[in-house]
Amino acid sequence: MIFLMTLIGSILVAALLLEWGNAKKPLLRAFINAIWGILALAVVNLTGMMTGVTLPLSPVVIGVSAFASFPGVITLLLLQLIFGI
């Protein structure tokens, strides 16, 4: 299980580094992606009353959401559904 989570995380980090490396302004792009990730996390938690799906707020969840944006939030949701994390 830890191997699978490490593999998913490694693929996600590699994809983000490739995306940021091709951007004209990588720091601005990273900041905008962080804002979108935090907003996506907020939307998931605000709609949790209707859907029954929420992500607990912890430094790790907030960090992954900020660093990986939408793919990070989706990965966290999938990990929660698959492994019950």
Which amino acid, residue 78? L
Tokens at 49, concatenated? 């009353």
- Per the rule left: phi > 0, alpha: psi between -120 and 50, beta: everything else, 84 is left
Confidence (pTM):
0.71
pLDDT tens digits, residue range 22-46?
A: 767 777 877 888 899 999 999 999 9
